[in-house]
Amino acid sequence: METSATPTHCPYCALQCGMNLTPAPDGTVEVTERADFPVNRGALCGKGRTAPAVLSSRVRLTSPLVRTDGVLTPASWDEALDRIAGRLSSIRSAHGPDAVGVFGGGGLTNEKAYTLGKFARVVLGTSQIDYNGRFCMSSAAAAGTKAFGLDRGLPFPLEDIPKTGCVVLVGSNLAETMPPALRYLTELKDNGGTLIVVDPRRTRTAEQADLHLAPRPGTDLALALGLLHLVVAEGRTDEEYIRERTTGWEDARAAAMAHWPEYVERITGVSVPELREAVRLFCEPEAAMVLTARGPEQQSKGTDTVGAWINLCLATGRAGRPLSGYGCLTGQGNGQGGREHGQKADQLPGYRKLTDPAARRHVAEVWGVEPDSLPGPGRSAYELLDALGTDIRALLLMGSNPVVSAPRAAHVEERVKALDFLAVCDVVLSETAELADVVLPVTQWAEETGTTTSLEGRVLLRRQAISPPTGVRSDLEVMHELAARLGVEKGFPTDPEEVFEELRRASAGGPADYSGITYRRLARENGVFWPCPAPAEGGPAAGSAGESAPAVPSADAALGAGGPDAAASGGTAPDVHPGTPRLFLDRFATEDGRARFAPVSHRAVAEEPDAEYPVLLTTGRVVAQYQSGAQTRRVDELNAAAPGPFVELHPRLAERLGAAEGDPVAVVSRRGRAVAPARITTAIRPDTVFMPFHWPGEGRANTLTNPALDPTSRMPEFKACAVRLEAVQPQASPA
């Protein structure tokens, strides 16, 4: 019997590449090209091609585990769920609702993220909920909200990138983190555009650049200010745009003028001629873009750093115009949607603020509770993890592996071990799950239906292609069962479409308005860009089940849907909102419609090198692994390509250390010590070392990283900390 292919999306990064899945007679699943999806046009990286390997029962969990006499042993679902509900209930009764924490993930579908936030606030009554997306793009989100009144990773579709005149790519190595997206930069150059890459390493992406700027880690803020100084000094500002579409220019200009080129050269190591060339390449074309990623964002001043790059766009009239703008390259698969619908400490669904009385009333009405019953904002991700075992005594964790991925990871591991109770829902037995009291095996991307929101703000439908193994349940089923055991019988459906229908109502009228999006519509379109409000009351039914969605004001005027461009999602009836591929073309999402300049100044990283720790460490990813590696490290093909951690260092640094290629090198910070083989290359600055963060054990890079937090976004400073290097004598093989 022939089995038809199911069109769906990759489980990994925020490109959410389209793919087809076909079950094979031997029980495996085949990935084939899906050329109709416009983002990747059939192209897939190695992670996407091998994603079905993790569906195998050989590498994944298929039975609940309960710790008995110190050992995780298989148990029934009733036993595991009863254990979780009983312990959460007793800890809440003894110590209050905030003694129970919830930690989510940027890989959860919109339905799961929404339900997890609701579960925390309605069932547990706790304010202590956050997620690992705080470690990913929170600084860009904070800066974008300050400047534009709204955060959406990219306020324009990826298809606009090859059509602009110049792209400044700051702290992103697309060739390894999102390989199918590299074609947009290749097409940019083929079309006569130019590419500037800002990165302390000469990465595979930087090798494609017309100009590579290699600043010292943690100095991106000074670099952006220096470029703006030159824009002003050379008379390249767009005064009409500044006057008509922005506020705050005088203070921002004054701050930038204090960062003259020679001063910036001393701070960053980027020469004055390179600074001048960057300004020329950026300002000469009619249109240009700045795209940032984790490099400038994962800093204790990440919000100000992104704000400085936004200032450069605003001063030159490169925001809210066709083929121009600032964008953030969101990393995790549903990092965008994950922060929009309530698993972040300070937010309610629809990207509403938890402190806004009107937002509380709206969401409380959808949830059928009193607004006053909703707890206020809780701790950010690292602060929540740091409090484990103190006033937070129990933790429910879904879709994250903080023992590997959090900064100061050895300390976080100690805090996890100090909990009275830990319950983990995961696909595999991650390093964090190994410490749990109860582990629940949950369904994966190919075994369930749900929506994600890509880095473009494009809401997508992932379709179930296969049935999960016996013994595995969905996260929605887990929360339904736990809610019932904790006394809440209704409001936690297990059908993802039913959850999405409620999410539509909860998001209606909010900044991230999904009310005009339905499963039926997503099934026939290649995604719909939010905001997408439902038709006004009295218009045609928008619900996939034929019921009318709530009336909300049109987003067009507030966000600049852009006339004909707004219909890019295509195929919709004239009385149905087409979605908003391009934001801000008419006005920004602020009260007065104007963008805000940020008056920012350079400041040093939280931990500068000194005599004891004279080198800077920066961290990142490799193409064959993903995030904490919990899933990709279980795929043979990926492990063959990237079998373990390494320390990348310059030949001069290696010579001083007396290290040769492949020798074990210890990297030591004030927080701990990691050991990995040396990889010697001139592609990195002599004052900097690089480690990928995908592995646990002695090569765990996040043992070293600094949890110093950005005061606005609460983003830890993953990208720069002071270390020293030590040669390690290889251990003799046993006789």
SS percent in the chain: helix, strand, coil, step 5:
35, 20, 45
> pTM score, two decimals?
0.93
Distance CA 431, CA 435 (A): 7
Torsion, Cα of 418, 420, 425, 431 (10° steps): 20
Protein fold of 615-727:
Barwin-like endoglucanases (2.40.40)
**Residue 332 CA to chain centroid, in angstroms?**
4
Nearest to 292 by CA among 211, 198, 378, 229: 198
Mean pLDDT of the chain: 93
Q: For residue 694, what pLDDT is reported? A: 96
734 confidence band (pLDDT: 50, 70, 90): low
pLDDT tens digits, 521-545: 999 999 999 999 998 764 433 333 2
Q: For residue 90, what pLDDT is reported? A: 98
In the predicted structure, residue 555 carries a pLDDT above the cut 90 = no
Residue 541 is which amino acid? Answer: A
Torsion, Cα of 555, 517, 509, 565 (10° steps): -10
In the predicted structure, residue 735 carries a pLDDT above the cut 90 = no
In the predicted structure, residue 561 carries a pLDDT above the cut 60 = no
Q: Residues with Cβ < 8 Å from 694, sequence gap 6 or more?
A: 404, 621, 622, 625, 626, 627, 628, 629, 632, 633, 642, 645
Q: For residue 3, what pLDDT is reported? A: 64
Protein fold of 65-136+334-492:
Rossmann fold (3.40.50)
Question: From the CA atom positions of the chain, what is the Rg in Å?
Answer: 25
Mean pLDDT, rounded, for 469-475: 96
The gap between the terminal CA atoms of the chain, to the nearest Å, is: 58
Mean pLDDT, rounded, for 329-356: 93
Mean pLDDT, rounded, for 475-501: 98
2 burial via Cβ count (<10 Å: 0-12, 13-18, 19+): exposed
CATH class of 138-328: alpha beta
Mean pLDDT, rounded, for 460-483: 97
Distance CA 577, CA 65 (A): 47
More confident of the two residues 735 and 441 = 441
Q: For residue 137, what pLDDT is reported? A: 87
Residue 618 is which amino acid? Answer: T
Domain positions in the chain are 65-136+334-492, 138-328, 615-727
| 528-529 and 458-462 strand pairing | antiparallel
Residues across the chain:
735
In the predicted structure, residue 667 carries a pLDDT above the cut 80 = yes
Q: For residue 574, what pLDDT is reported? A: 61
In the predicted structure, residue 563 carries a pLDDT above the cut 70 = no
In the predicted structure, residue 567 carries a pLDDT above the cut 70 = no
Q: For residue 27, what pLDDT is reported? A: 81
Tokens 């006057």 belong to residue: 243
548 confidence band (pLDDT: 50, 70, 90): very low
What would the 3-class secondary structure string for 173-189 be? Answer: CHHHHCHHHHHHHHHHH
585 confidence band (pLDDT: 50, 70, 90): very high
Distance CA 20, CA 599 (A): 48
| 100-104 and 71-74 strand pairing | unpaired
Q: For residue 732, what pLDDT is reported? A: 60
Distance CA 474, CA 166 (A): 44
Q: Do the first three CATH levels of 65-136+334-492 and 138-328 match, i.e. the same topology?
A: no
481 confidence band (pLDDT: 50, 70, 90): very high
Question: Using the 8-state DSSP alphabet, how is residue 388 labeled?
Answer: B
438 confidence band (pLDDT: 50, 70, 90): very high
> pLDDT > 70: what percent of the chain?
94
Of the listed ranges 114-128, 137-151, 571-585, 620-634, the least confidently predicted one is 571-585
At residue 710's C-alpha, the angle toward residues 707 and 711, to 5°, is 125
Would you put residue 268 in left (φ > 0), alpha (ψ -120 to 50) or beta? alpha
| Under 8 Å between Cβ of 359 and 352 | yes
In the predicted structure, residue 224 carries a pLDDT above the cut 70 = yes
Mean pLDDT, rounded, for 278-293: 98
Distance CA 294, CA 291 (A): 11
DSSP string, 539-564: S---STTS-PPPP---SHHHHT--GG
Mean pLDDT, rounded, for 604-617: 97
| Under 8 Å between Cβ of 676 and 697 | no
Q: For residue 552, what pLDDT is reported? A: 33
3-state SS, residue 308: helix
331 confidence band (pLDDT: 50, 70, 90): confident
Mean pLDDT, rounded, for 6-21: 96
CA atoms within 13 A on the CB side of 286: 5
Distance CA 26, CA 441 (A): 23
Mean pLDDT, rounded, for 289-296: 96
In the predicted structure, residue 258 carries a pLDDT above the cut 90 = yes
Structure-token pair, residue 700? 């765990």
In the predicted structure, residue 79 carries a pLDDT above the cut 70 = yes
Helix (H) or strand (E) holding 254: helix 249-257
In the predicted structure, residue 396 carries a pLDDT above the cut 50 = yes
26 confidence band (pLDDT: 50, 70, 90): confident
Q: For residue 575, what pLDDT is reported? A: 75
